[in-house]
Protein backbone atom coordinates (compact mmCIF):
# COMPACT_ATOMS: atom_id res chain seq x y z
CA UNK A 1 0.00 0.00 0.00
CA UNK A 2 2.81 2.40 0.94
CA UNK A 3 4.49 1.66 -2.38
CA UNK A 4 1.30 2.49 -4.29
CA UNK A 5 0.88 5.77 -2.39
CA UNK A 6 4.49 6.64 -3.11
CA UNK A 7 4.02 5.99 -6.83
CA UNK A 8 0.86 8.13 -6.89
CA UNK A 9 2.66 11.01 -5.18
CA UNK A 10 5.60 10.81 -7.63
CA UNK A 11 3.16 10.76 -10.56
CA UNK A 12 1.28 13.82 -9.27
CA UNK A 13 4.53 15.70 -8.71
CA UNK A 14 5.68 14.86 -12.23
CA UNK A 15 2.40 16.08 -13.74
CA UNK A 16 2.62 19.27 -11.66
CA UNK A 17 6.16 19.92 -12.88
CA UNK A 18 5.11 19.46 -16.49
CA UNK A 19 2.16 21.86 -16.14
CA UNK A 20 4.27 24.34 -14.22
CA UNK A 21 6.97 24.25 -16.87
CA UNK A 22 4.45 24.83 -19.64
CA UNK A 23 2.92 27.78 -17.81
CA UNK A 24 6.34 29.24 -17.11
CA UNK A 25 7.21 29.25 -20.79
CA UNK A 26 3.79 30.46 -21.89
CA UNK A 27 2.94 32.96 -19.20
CA UNK A 28 3.38 31.89 -15.57
CA UNK A 29 1.11 32.94 -12.72
CA UNK A 30 0.03 36.19 -11.09
CA UNK A 31 -3.57 35.51 -10.31
CA UNK A 32 -6.65 34.64 -12.26
CA UNK A 33 -6.88 37.79 -14.39
CA UNK A 34 -6.93 38.75 -18.04
CA UNK A 35 -3.70 39.96 -19.58
CA UNK A 36 -4.73 43.24 -21.23
CA UNK A 37 -1.39 43.49 -23.09
CA UNK A 38 -2.49 40.61 -25.34
CA UNK A 39 -4.49 41.21 -28.48
CA UNK A 40 -5.42 39.09 -31.48
CA UNK A 41 -5.33 42.09 -33.79
CA UNK A 42 -2.17 42.34 -35.86
CA UNK A 43 -0.43 45.47 -37.12
CA UNK A 44 2.27 45.76 -39.77
CA UNK A 45 5.70 46.00 -38.15
CA UNK A 46 7.97 45.34 -41.13
CA UNK A 47 7.93 46.21 -44.83
CA UNK A 48 10.93 46.28 -47.14
CA UNK A 49 11.69 46.02 -50.81
CA UNK A 50 14.24 43.48 -51.94
CA UNK A 51 14.53 39.85 -52.94
CA UNK A 52 14.09 37.19 -50.26
CA UNK A 53 16.27 34.14 -50.89
CA UNK A 54 16.25 32.54 -47.44
CA UNK A 55 14.21 32.61 -44.24
CA UNK A 56 15.46 31.90 -40.72
CA UNK A 57 12.98 31.79 -37.83
CA UNK A 58 13.84 31.38 -34.15
CA UNK A 59 10.62 31.58 -32.11
CA UNK A 60 10.05 31.05 -28.39
CA UNK A 61 6.32 31.60 -27.76
CA UNK A 62 4.45 32.74 -30.86
CA UNK A 63 2.09 31.45 -33.54
CA UNK A 64 3.57 32.03 -37.00
CA UNK A 65 1.86 31.95 -40.40
CA UNK A 66 3.64 32.09 -43.75
CA UNK A 67 1.84 32.85 -46.99
CA UNK A 68 2.42 34.69 -50.29
CA UNK A 69 1.05 38.01 -51.49
CA UNK A 70 1.91 41.18 -53.36
CA UNK A 71 4.94 42.20 -51.29
CA UNK A 72 7.07 41.44 -48.26
CA UNK A 73 5.03 42.40 -45.24
CA UNK A 74 5.04 41.20 -41.65
CA UNK A 75 2.30 41.87 -39.10
CA UNK A 76 2.34 41.16 -35.38
CA UNK A 77 -0.16 41.12 -32.58
CA UNK A 78 0.35 40.29 -28.92
CA UNK A 79 2.44 40.99 -25.85
CA UNK A 80 4.98 43.73 -26.49
CA UNK A 81 7.62 41.69 -24.66
CA UNK A 82 7.25 38.96 -27.28
CA UNK A 83 7.57 41.21 -30.30
CA UNK A 84 10.25 39.68 -32.56
CA UNK A 85 13.28 41.29 -34.12
CA UNK A 86 13.17 41.26 -37.93
CA UNK A 87 15.80 42.01 -40.56
CA UNK A 88 16.45 41.47 -44.27
CA UNK A 89 20.15 41.26 -45.04
CA UNK A 90 21.66 39.97 -48.30
CA UNK A 91 18.40 38.24 -49.12
CA UNK A 92 18.02 36.46 -45.78
CA UNK A 93 14.89 37.29 -43.80
CA UNK A 94 15.67 36.71 -40.12
CA UNK A 95 12.95 36.57 -37.47
CA UNK A 96 14.13 36.23 -33.88
CA UNK A 97 12.00 36.24 -30.76
CA UNK A 98 13.88 36.41 -27.48
CA UNK A 99 11.26 37.77 -25.07
CA UNK A 100 9.12 35.92 -22.58
CA UNK A 101 5.48 36.51 -21.72
CA UNK A 102 6.27 37.57 -18.14
CA UNK A 103 4.46 36.56 -14.99
CA UNK A 104 0.82 36.50 -15.96
CA UNK A 105 -1.95 34.00 -16.30
CA UNK A 106 -4.45 34.27 -19.13
CA UNK A 107 -7.75 33.02 -17.69
CA UNK A 108 -9.41 32.24 -21.02
CA UNK A 109 -6.29 30.98 -22.77
CA UNK A 110 -4.78 28.91 -19.94
CA UNK A 111 -1.24 30.05 -20.56
CA UNK A 112 -1.74 31.01 -24.21
CA UNK A 113 0.33 34.10 -24.80
CA UNK A 114 -1.69 35.34 -27.78
CA UNK A 115 1.39 36.38 -29.75
CA UNK A 116 0.82 36.00 -33.49
CA UNK A 117 2.98 36.76 -36.51
CA UNK A 118 1.76 36.88 -40.13
CA UNK A 119 4.55 36.76 -42.71
CA UNK A 120 3.69 37.53 -46.33
CA UNK A 121 6.33 36.83 -48.97
CA UNK A 122 6.10 38.16 -52.54
CA UNK A 123 4.34 35.74 -54.90
CA UNK A 124 6.82 33.71 -56.94
CA UNK A 125 9.50 33.74 -54.23
CA UNK A 126 11.73 30.67 -54.39
CA UNK A 127 13.88 30.28 -51.32
CA UNK A 128 17.22 28.56 -51.19
CA UNK A 129 16.50 27.56 -47.59
CA UNK A 130 13.65 27.83 -45.12
CA UNK A 131 14.81 27.17 -41.56
CA UNK A 132 12.55 27.41 -38.53
CA UNK A 133 13.00 26.57 -34.87
CA UNK A 134 9.88 26.90 -32.76
CA UNK A 135 9.46 26.30 -29.05
CA UNK A 136 5.85 26.79 -27.94
CA UNK A 137 3.74 27.84 -30.89
CA UNK A 138 1.74 26.75 -33.92
CA UNK A 139 3.01 27.23 -37.45
CA UNK A 140 1.10 27.48 -40.74
CA UNK A 141 2.92 27.39 -44.08
CA UNK A 142 1.05 27.96 -47.34
CA UNK A 143 2.32 28.25 -50.93
CA UNK A 144 5.96 28.38 -49.87
CA UNK A 145 8.71 27.19 -52.24
CA UNK A 146 12.20 26.33 -51.01
CA UNK A 147 15.08 24.17 -52.20
CA UNK A 148 15.59 23.06 -48.60
CA UNK A 149 13.22 23.17 -45.61
CA UNK A 150 14.37 22.44 -42.07
CA UNK A 151 11.66 22.77 -39.42
CA UNK A 152 12.04 21.84 -35.76
CA UNK A 153 9.66 22.38 -32.90
CA UNK A 154 9.06 21.56 -29.26
CA UNK A 155 5.34 22.02 -28.59
CA UNK A 156 2.72 23.03 -31.15
CA UNK A 157 1.04 22.04 -34.39
CA UNK A 158 2.51 22.43 -37.87
CA UNK A 159 0.28 22.77 -40.94
CA UNK A 160 1.80 22.82 -44.45
CA UNK A 161 -0.33 23.40 -47.56
CA UNK A 162 0.57 23.86 -51.25
CA UNK A 163 4.29 23.95 -50.49
CA UNK A 164 7.12 22.87 -52.78
CA UNK A 165 10.35 21.72 -51.12
CA UNK A 166 13.37 20.12 -52.76
CA UNK A 167 14.25 18.44 -49.47
CA UNK A 168 12.40 18.37 -46.17
CA UNK A 169 13.41 17.75 -42.58
CA UNK A 170 10.72 18.10 -39.91
CA UNK A 171 11.31 17.33 -36.24
CA UNK A 172 8.60 17.88 -33.64
CA UNK A 173 8.41 16.87 -30.01
CA UNK A 174 4.72 17.27 -29.11
CA UNK A 175 1.96 18.30 -31.51
CA UNK A 176 0.25 17.32 -34.74
CA UNK A 177 1.69 17.60 -38.24
CA UNK A 178 -0.52 18.08 -41.30
CA UNK A 179 0.88 18.24 -44.84
CA UNK A 180 -1.54 18.71 -47.73
CA UNK A 181 -1.09 19.01 -51.51
CA UNK A 182 2.64 19.63 -51.26
CA UNK A 183 5.94 18.39 -52.69
CA UNK A 184 8.46 17.23 -50.09
CA UNK A 185 11.32 15.97 -52.25
CA UNK A 186 13.52 13.63 -50.22
CA UNK A 187 12.66 14.07 -46.59
CA UNK A 188 12.39 12.91 -43.00
CA UNK A 189 9.63 13.45 -40.46
CA UNK A 190 10.21 12.72 -36.79
CA UNK A 191 7.46 13.21 -34.20
CA UNK A 192 7.58 12.01 -30.59
CA UNK A 193 3.95 12.54 -29.51
CA UNK A 194 1.13 13.44 -31.88
CA UNK A 195 -0.50 12.49 -35.16
CA UNK A 196 1.02 12.78 -38.63
CA UNK A 197 -1.15 13.32 -41.74
CA UNK A 198 0.44 13.57 -45.19
CA UNK A 199 -2.20 13.88 -47.89
CA UNK A 200 -1.92 14.13 -51.67
CA UNK A 201 1.73 15.10 -51.39
CA UNK A 202 4.52 14.00 -53.71
CA UNK A 203 7.93 12.84 -52.51
CA UNK A 204 10.94 10.95 -53.84
CA UNK A 205 11.94 9.31 -50.57
CA UNK A 206 10.02 9.93 -47.35
CA UNK A 207 11.05 8.44 -44.00
CA UNK A 208 8.62 8.88 -41.11
CA UNK A 209 9.38 8.03 -37.50
CA UNK A 210 6.66 8.34 -34.84
CA UNK A 211 6.80 7.71 -31.10
CA UNK A 212 3.18 7.84 -29.97
CA UNK A 213 0.34 8.72 -32.32
CA UNK A 214 -1.24 7.71 -35.61
CA UNK A 215 0.33 8.13 -39.03
CA UNK A 216 -1.80 8.56 -42.16
CA UNK A 217 -0.38 8.94 -45.67
CA UNK A 218 -2.47 9.49 -48.78
CA UNK A 219 -0.34 8.73 -51.83
CA UNK A 220 -0.25 11.21 -54.70
CA UNK A 221 0.46 8.60 -57.39
CA UNK A 222 -0.23 4.98 -58.30
CA UNK A 223 0.38 2.60 -55.42
CA UNK A 224 2.53 0.25 -57.52
CA UNK A 225 5.13 2.98 -58.13
CA UNK A 226 6.10 3.11 -54.45
CA UNK A 227 8.51 1.00 -52.48
CA UNK A 228 6.73 0.78 -49.13
CA UNK A 229 7.93 -0.39 -45.72
CA UNK A 230 5.58 0.03 -42.75
CA UNK A 231 5.90 -1.22 -39.17
CA UNK A 232 4.46 -0.45 -35.74
CA UNK A 233 5.35 -1.93 -32.36
CA UNK A 234 1.91 -1.43 -30.82
CA UNK A 235 -0.88 -0.70 -33.29
CA UNK A 236 -2.22 -1.76 -36.66
CA UNK A 237 -1.08 -1.29 -40.24
CA UNK A 238 -3.71 -0.68 -42.91
CA UNK A 239 -3.00 -0.12 -46.60
CA UNK A 240 -5.78 0.71 -49.05
CA UNK A 241 -8.39 -0.68 -46.68
CA UNK A 242 -6.58 -3.96 -45.99
CA UNK A 243 -5.41 -4.88 -42.49
CA UNK A 244 -1.81 -6.06 -42.54
CA UNK A 245 -1.13 -6.68 -38.85
CA UNK A 246 1.88 -4.78 -37.57
CA UNK A 247 3.97 -4.58 -40.74
CA UNK A 248 3.79 -4.38 -44.52
CA UNK A 249 6.30 -4.04 -47.35
CA UNK A 250 6.30 -3.98 -51.14
CA UNK A 251 8.76 -3.31 -53.93
CA UNK A 252 8.38 -0.55 -56.47
CA UNK A 253 7.21 -1.50 -59.96
CA UNK A 254 9.90 0.73 -61.47
CA UNK A 255 13.56 1.37 -60.88
CA UNK A 256 14.15 4.57 -58.95
CA UNK A 257 10.50 5.01 -58.02
CA UNK A 258 9.42 6.86 -54.87
CA UNK A 259 9.78 5.17 -51.50
CA UNK A 260 7.89 5.46 -48.22
CA UNK A 261 9.18 4.15 -44.90
CA UNK A 262 7.10 4.54 -41.73
CA UNK A 263 8.05 3.25 -38.28
CA UNK A 264 5.82 3.78 -35.28
CA UNK A 265 6.21 2.83 -31.65
CA UNK A 266 2.66 3.22 -30.31
CA UNK A 267 -0.07 3.97 -32.85
CA UNK A 268 -1.66 2.97 -36.14
CA UNK A 269 -0.33 3.42 -39.67
CA UNK A 270 -2.69 3.92 -42.59
CA UNK A 271 -1.72 4.34 -46.25
CA UNK A 272 -4.31 5.05 -48.89
Q: How far apart are CA 249 and CA 260, in angstroms?
A: 10
Q: How far apart are CA 123 and CA 34, in angstroms?
A: 39
Q: How far apart are CA 69 and CA 141, in angstroms?
A: 13
Predicted local confidence at residue 100, as pLDDT? 58
The 10s digit of each residue's pLDDT in 44-85 is 999 999 899 999 999 999 999 999 999 999 999 998 889 999
Which residues, listed in sequence order, are joined to residue 142 by a DSSP beta bridge?
161
Least Cα distance to 177 among 146, 141, 204, 147 occurs for: 141
Least Cα distance to 219 among 209, 230, 234 occurs for: 230
Q: How far apart are CA 109 and CA 106, in angstroms?
A: 5
Residue 96's alpha-carbon distances to 58, 85, 254, in angstroms, are: 5, 5, 45
pTM of this prediction?
0.81
The tens-digit pLDDT sequence of the chain (272 residues) is 444 444 444 445 545 545 554 444 444 433 333 333 334 588 999 999 989 999 999 999 999 999 999 999 999 999 888 999 999 999 999 999 986 544 433 433 444 457 999 999 999 999 999 999 989 889 999 999 999 999 999 999 999 999 999 999 999 999 999 999 999 999 999 999 999 999 999 999 999 999 999 999 999 999 999 999 999 999 999 999 999 999 999 999 888 899 999 999 999 999 99
Amino acid sequence: MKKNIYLIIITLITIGCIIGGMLYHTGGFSGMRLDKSITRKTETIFQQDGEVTAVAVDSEVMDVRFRTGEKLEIAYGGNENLKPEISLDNGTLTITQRGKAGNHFNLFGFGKNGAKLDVTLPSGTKLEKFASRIDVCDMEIAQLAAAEAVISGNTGDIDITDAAFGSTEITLNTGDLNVNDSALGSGTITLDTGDIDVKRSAFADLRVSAGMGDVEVELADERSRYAIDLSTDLGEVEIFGNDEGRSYSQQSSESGGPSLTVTNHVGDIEVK
